[in-house]
A and B are shown apart, each in its own frame.
Chain A
Amino acid sequence: MLRKLFAIAAVAGLLTVGASAPALAAGHALEPEKIHWSFEGPFGKFDQAQLQRGYKVYREVCSACHSMKLVSFRNLGDKGGPFYNDKYPNSNDNPWVKAIAKEFEVADIDSETGDAIKRPATSADRFPSPFPNEAAARASNGGALPPDMSLLAKAREGGPDYIHAIVTGYKDAPAGLKVGPGQHYNPYMAGDLTSYWSGSHEHVPPGGFIAMAPPLKAGLVTFDDGTPSTIDQQAKDVSAFLMWAAEPKLEERKQTGFAVLIYLILFAGLLYAAYRQVWKNESH
């Protein structure tokens, strides 16, 4: 009886922890569709081909407005990264990484003259931002600030599912919804549309407004591996790439965790056997 009551209390406790963890978005955005990602589960790994395609989407589409300040070019060649190659354990030597870095220009100071100059990036540099500062970014985007993408997949509830839902989920605004200039209706965006809705308050459409126009179009990016370039494919690939950018050590973490758990379970078993042995002749 007591044990049962304790079990109930324990379950109630766990439920509380579980229920309290996810944040409640204000307003009522649609729940993002659950995508099956290769990096899910205890043995999940990034799909390198997908990361490369996702990088291309980022490079050709997103990076026009979104910075990725925390990621260095060398990270692309790190283990688990889109351009990792075991011939180049030091990612600074990786020829793909070097070639990608060279495409970008970064600000620097000429060590001879002290003048502000631009030079081609090296693998040690971080991704340069598309705008010099926040004010410039807002000025070019109708007052909205395109969020930095380095941590986007961890900074939004739902992570890559959410990113995929946002970029594929644009809908025509329902009749009765007043969409302001430079705004777009998206049912997956957090927000409260009550004050823009002319119908009854019981039927306010889900979602909110987003300043970003639908960014993807079928065929917008040509994938080098011949994967058909649908909107859904582009969205999935870039979401996977952003998950890698936010959590580049994900594979290392899961692999280490597996070894740690095996060790701990064996260790616990050994200690339990020792416990039984020590207490063998003692009543308790």
Chain B
Amino acid sequence: MSGHSTYQPKTGIERWLDARLPIVRLGYDSFVDYPTPRNLNYWWTFGGILSLCLASQLITGIILVMHYTPSADHAFASVEHIMRDVNYGWLIRYMHANGASMFFIAVYVHMLRGLYYGSYKAPREVLWILGCVIYLLMMATAFMGYVLPWGQMSFHGAVVITNLFGALPIVGPSITTWLWGGFAVDNATLNRFFSLHYLLPFMIAGVVILHIWALHVVGQNNPTGVEPKSKADTLPFTPYATVKDAFAMSVFMILFAVFVFYLPNALGHADNYVEANPLVTPSHIVPEWYFLPFYAILRAVPDKLMGVLAMFGAIACLFALPWLDTSKVRSMRYRPTAKLYFLIFVVVCCILGLCGAKLPDDPVLGHFKTFTLIDSDLNSFVWLSRFASLYYFAFFLVILPVLGLVEKTLPVPDSIASPALSHPAAAPAEATAAPEMKG
């Protein structure tokens, strides 16, 4: 889609088709001849891994629908019918359930890679925002999919999350009723969630096409953050990127298989093997692991409406990121200070995830109490999540905007090919000692 097409139709049929619908040309230009920076590392293989995840979820999902009954009375039993009576139904269902977790592992790595190497900076803002849209659609899809087995955690998770919208002033209660299709989470809710859970993945697939289109217009970023300047900086997508992506995908599939075959319920929750009962609330309602950081941000704020706004604000920060980061240098490889703040950010996200899994009042260290600060003991997960949330927002709203203006960056190489032979991150002293390399 970018640059000049080098596709040469070889046979008569190819020439005939190319004059009418140049689809083979599109495929050739996008996935064979497409120039990729020669220095892409394994963090860049997660795009391919994500397309594998999407395909796997679509295929297993479509098969599950053939056996699933979307009804509050039969959903739970139909999932167990899949597990017990359908040939390899257990495999399809465990692949789908664990596939969601794998999808999120891959998307978080993919997002953090983009964050580290500045893949959101001009001219890739639209590419990044499309990625954020995909992530948002993924979260909606995963949440609604988790409701479908109609277990205890499905039901009560749906109650908690849909009730969040009730915190909005004036329109809140009406929105909640509208989402439920009634006055409580019930059969109508299950049915619309099922309908949307089937629709949204195809919307994801559509936005993925836009995402790849945008990628092929601006070209891939790379670990140096320097745009390819000559033929020496790039290699054709096939075979170079194809074979590397394929290897990374096969390694990822090993991880996936370990979960599906040996730890199929490790990432789930035991309560979801109990059929939904509106009259019995589980002692501790937790979302799936991939939502835990946002859940922690939600609970860190004492006011419900402010908590909901903080949670959505945490995602909104991602959309605004291209304009929040003021640095002229794209890759954090040449931003030693930003690199440090980035690594703290990764750890803080993990801490938020931990806080989301724990009871807010439980002590973080040991079993002792310190002193009550405002509403809770300082040695509690609610306070830990407050400090972590503060850093989360500060990273986007303070650190990245300010740091870009004041930090001292390392010299950026002239082109991709020049540092490819001697890795500059491995020898920064050498790079600074060679001012002639700086463009």
Contact = CB atoms under 8 A, between A and B. Distances in A.
Interface string A266-284: 0110011011001100111
Interface string B355-374: 01111001000000000000
The prevalent SS among residues of B at the interface is: helix
Interface string B255-283: 00110111011110111011000000001
A157 interface: yes
A12 B250 contact: no
Contacts of B339: 2
B31 interface: no
A88 B196 CA distance: 44
Interface string B378-418: 00000000000000000000000000000000000000000
Contacts of B356: 20
Interface in A1-57: 2, 5-6, 8-9, 12-13, 15-17, 19-21, 23-26, 42
Interface string B26-49: 000000000000111000000000
A112 B67 CA distance: 32
Given A268-B247, A274-B243, A284 B420 contact: yes
B347 A12 contact: yes
A253 B274 contact: no
Contacts of B274: 147, 151, 155
A17 B91 contact: no
Contact of B357 (A19, A264, A272): A19
A159 B269 CA distance: 12
B102 to A, nearest CB: 12
Contacts of B421: 283
Nearest to B247: A271
B283 A261 contact: no
B354 A19 contact: yes
Interface residues of A, number: 53
Contacts of A234: none
B354 A16 contact: yes
B250 A264 contact: yes
A12 B350 contact: yes
A265 interface: yes
A284 B38 contact: yes
A185 to B, nearest CB: 19
A24 B261 contact: no
Contacts of A102: none
Given A20-B292, A249-B83, A275-B244, A254 B262 contact: yes
B270 A154 contact: yes
Contacts of A256: 91, 261
Contacts of B362: 24
B289 interface: yes
Contacts of A254: 261-262
A70 interface: yes
B273 A246 contact: yes
A2 B335 CA distance: 12
A244 to B, nearest CB: 12
A169 B343 CA distance: 47
A5 B73 CA distance: 50
Contact of A271 (B83, B243, B266, B284): B243
Interface in A55-84: 70, 75
Given A70-B77, A249-B83, A155 B273 contact: yes
A265 to B, nearest CB: 7
Contacts of B357: 16, 19-21, 24
5 contacts: A23-B286, A26-B284, A75-B84, A147-B274, A272-B247
Given A2-B425, A23-B284, A282-B235, 5 more contacts: A17-B267, A24-B362, A25-B284, A151-B273, A257-B258
Interface of B: 38-40, 77, 80, 83-84, 90-91, 94, 235, 239-240, 243-244, 246-247, 250-251, 253-254, 257-258, 260-262, 264-267, 269-271, 273-274, 283-284, 286, 289, 292, 339, 343, 346-347, 350-351, 353-354, 356-359, 362, 420-421, 425
